[in-house]
């Protein structure tokens, strides 16, 4: 997945960036004109009325900007990550032992599983739901429902305990899970369990893959625009009991090896009083997708194998597709985030490549000039490192994603929150810092969230999902040449 690929960037992306650039330039020009007029009036010793007009214009612009930003403000009050019970822990040796006991897997299949596990970047303390421990694993509806209860109830109760919110104070509830879609819905399970209000706005998102959590935040933000003074809770998970592939097609077996148990619960709000107590303010959201492209559409897809067994196929061009999807997302996001110098350098490289020198490499903007922390897709160690290479990130920047993958595995959409929890446990996030959460999923799609820390975050190392292990991290994962400390 090479972000520096010579594949041409669509013209609309360049247009979007240039449009944003000229919009900001117009704003800057207006302010410059007002400053110049004020200076001219002072030099010419004009009467008070002239100074009053320019000052009034300044105040009007400031007031409009203030009310626009305040109206759109969405705050992340807090979030919780699930630490599954210890009886769900699955060391790699145990996983391989169970694989060898499955009569439908031959020696070649077990060897393939061992290779995937060895290169995955996972450690010895990841978790799988109880249904997967059976020989052979169970994939029934009732087992999936049990798993949903096992992850939903503790994580929501922990969030309510941390934020002091009650079920009746939840105005919007969004649950995302790609593979398990029961009737009644997953959101209905929670509403029934906690006797939530009859007018709650509830939604269940399915089929969105590892990008679903970031997508749900964007969705909640849009709903909050028309529901003032409201609280939105997002529950993000992947139910693995229904996703087990009971065959031996290698392109489908990868999912069995990589995905692990996990969930996150997030409380966001547009209440004004939350500004003083919340952890983060949401600055930007961006969603892009490439489902219109057949290669992208079929790169990760649930289908039947030659024996009629259902699983998710990951094709060999998945990394290339992910790179193309990511590239369009980061360049559009760059037009909103990056300073003018970075945008100009990027635009110049595009024009130079198109009209003057075809061999010119397209300039990759330096996002570290505006973002201090990165939560990357924990899809696997190669994916994390390739994204890091494309974004020019160092070991320190990749550490949260790599260590989350090592400690908890790939937890699909909720991994982004385990990474943020890692940063908080290490007390890396300071007031005013920006955090970029990047979610990528099947479709394919790419969703970005940019948060700004609004208060000091301390003491997280002694509570939460990393409390019993953060002191032992970072570690050197299998295949890494050096520590990411």
DSSP-derived 3-state class of residue 26: helix
Q: Round to whole Å and give the CA distance between 381 and 122.
A: 9
Pairwise pLDDT comparison (318 vs 163), residue with the higher score = 163
Q: pLDDT tens, 70-81?
A: 556 899 999 999
Can you tell me the distance from the alpha carbon of 386 to that of 369, in angstroms, rounded to the nearest whole number? 20
Is-contact 302 310, C-beta < 8 A?
A: yes
CA 392 to chain centre: 19
Average pLDDT over residues 171-177: 96
Give the least confident one: 47-61, 154-168, 448-462, 469-483: 469-483
pLDDT attached to residue 70: 56
Question: Distance between the two ends of the chain, CA-based, in angstroms?
Answer: 25
Residue 453 has pLDDT above 80, yes or no: yes
Asked whether residue 416 carries a pLDDT value surpassing 70, the answer given is yes
Q: What is the per-residue pLDDT across 196-212, written as a single tens digit (0 to 9) for each?
A: 999 999 999 998 889 99
Residue closest to 439 by CA, chosen among 287, 297, 302 = 287
Confidence at residue 9, expressed as pLDDT on a 0 to 100 scale: 41
Burial readout 249-258 (b: 16 or more C-beta within 10 A, e: otherwise): bebbbbbbbb
Q: Could you give the CA distance from residue 92 to residue 188 in angstroms, rounded to a whole number?
A: 36
Q: Percent of the chain beyond pLDDT 70? A: 91
- In whole angstroms, give the CA distance from residue 3 to residue 286: 18
d(CA 312, CA 443): 12
Angle of helix 340-355 relative to helix 11-43, nearest 10 degrees, comes to 130
Tell me the pLDDT band of 478, cut-offs 50, 70 and 90: very low
pLDDT at 480: 58
The residues, ordered by sequence, that sit 6+ positions from 224 with a Cβ below 8 Å of its Cβ are: 74, 172, 230, 232, 268, 269, 270
What pLDDT, on the 0 to 100 scale, is given for residue 482?
41
Q: How do beta strands 445-453 and 231-237 pair?
A: unpaired
The CATH number fitting domain 280-472, selected from 2.40.50.100, 1.10.30.50, 3.50.50.60, 3.40.47.10: 3.40.47.10
Q: Contact at 8 Å (CB) between 281 and 75? A: yes
User: Would you say residue 458 has pLDDT above 80?
Assistant: yes
* Helix, strand, coil percentages in the chain from 3-state DSSP, rounded to 5: 50, 15, 35
pLDDT for 71 equals 57
Give pLDDT, residue 23. Answer: 66
Position 6 pLDDT exceeds 50: no
Average pLDDT, rounded, for the chain: 86
Q: Which residue has the tokens 């020198």?
A: 357
Task: Kindly tell me if the per-residue pLDDT of 53 is higher than 90.
Answer: no
Beta-strand pair 310-314/300-304: antiparallel
Return the SS3 of 484: coil
What fold is seen in the domain 75-276? Peroxisomal Thiolase; Chain A, domain 1 (3.40.47)
Six token digits for residue 398: 């990749």
With a CB cutoff of 8 Å and minimum separation 6, the contacts of 345 are 363, 365
Of the candidates 320, 330, 436, which has an alpha carbon nearest to the alpha carbon of residue 383?
Answer: 320
Give the C-alpha distances (Å, rounded to integers) separating 459 from 98, 151, 418, 429. 39, 25, 16, 12
Lowest mean pLDDT among 117-126, 233-242, 319-328: 319-328
Q: Which residue shows structure tokens 């193309």?
A: 324
d(CA 16, CA 220): 25
Q: What is the pLDDT of residue 151?
A: 96
User: Residue 483: what pLDDT?
Assistant: 39
Residue with the larger pLDDT of the pair 355 and 453: 453
CB 126 within 8 A of CB 168: no
pLDDT digits (tens, 9 = 90+) for 14-37: 555 556 566 666 777 777 777 777
Please tell me the distance from the alpha carbon of residue 438 to that of residue 449, in angstroms, as a whole number. Answer: 7
Q: What is the reported pLDDT for 327?
A: 80
């Amino acid at each position: 997945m090479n972000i520096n690929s010579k594949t041409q960037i669509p013209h609309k992306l360049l247009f979007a960036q240039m449009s944003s650039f000229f919009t900001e330039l117009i704003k800057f020009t207006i302010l410059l004109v007002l400053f110049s007029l004020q200076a001219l009036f002072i030099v010419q010793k004009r009467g008070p009325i002239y100074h009053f007009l320019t000052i009034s214009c300044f105040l009007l612009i400031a007031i409009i900007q203030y009310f626009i930003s305040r109206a759109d403000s969405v705050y992340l009050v807090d979030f919780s990550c699930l630490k599954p019970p210890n009886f769900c822990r699955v060391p790699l040796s145990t996983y391989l032992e169970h694989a060898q006991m499955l009569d439908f897997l031959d020696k070649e299949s077990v060897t393939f599983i061992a290779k995937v596990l060895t290169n995955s970047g996972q450690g010895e303390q990841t978790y799988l739901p109880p249904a997967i421990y059976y020989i052979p694993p169970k994939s029934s509806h009732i087992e999936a429902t049990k798993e949903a209860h096992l992850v939903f109830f503790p994580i929501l109760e922990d969030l309510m305990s941390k934020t002091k919110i009650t079920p009746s104070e939840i105005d919007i509830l969004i649950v995302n899970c790609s593979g398990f879609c029961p009737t009644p819905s997953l959101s209905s399970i929670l509403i029934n369990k906690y006797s939530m209000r009859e007018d709650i706005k509830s939604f269940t998102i399915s089929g969105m893959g590892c990008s679903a959590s970031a997508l749900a935040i964007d969705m909640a933000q849009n709903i909050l625009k028309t529901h003032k003074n409201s609280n939105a809770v997002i529950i993000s998970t992947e139910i693995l009991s229904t996703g087990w592939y009971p065959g031996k097609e290698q392109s489908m077996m990868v999912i069995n090896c990589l995905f692990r148990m996990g969930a996150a619960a997030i409380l966001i709000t547009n209440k004004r009083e939350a500004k003083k107590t919340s952890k983060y303010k949401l600055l930007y959201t961006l969603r892009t997708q490439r489902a219109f492209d057949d290669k992208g559409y079929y790169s990760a897809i649930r289908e039947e194998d030659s024996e009629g067994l259902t699983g998710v196929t990951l094709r060999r061009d998945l990394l290339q597709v992910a790179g193309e999807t990511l590239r369009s997302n980061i360049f559009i996001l760059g037009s909103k985030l990056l300073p003018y110098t970075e945008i100009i350098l990027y635009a110049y490289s595009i024009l130079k490549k198109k009209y003057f020198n075809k061999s010119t490499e397209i300039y990759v903007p330096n996002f570290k000039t505006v973002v201090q922390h990165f939560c990357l897709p924990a899809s696997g160690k190669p994916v994390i490192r390739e994204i890091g290479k494309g974004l020019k990130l160092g070991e320190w920047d990749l550490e949260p994603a790599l260590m989350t993958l090592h400690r908890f595995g790939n937890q699909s959409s909720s991994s982004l929150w385990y990474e943020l929890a890692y940063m908080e446990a290490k007390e890396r996030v300071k007031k005013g810092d920006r955090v970029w959460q990047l979610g990528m999923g099947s479709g394919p799609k790419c969703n970005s969230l940019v948060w700004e820390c609004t208060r000091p975050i301390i003491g997280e190392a002694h509570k939460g999902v990393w409390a019993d292990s953060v002191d032992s991290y970072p570690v050197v994962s299998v295949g890494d040449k050096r520590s990411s400390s």
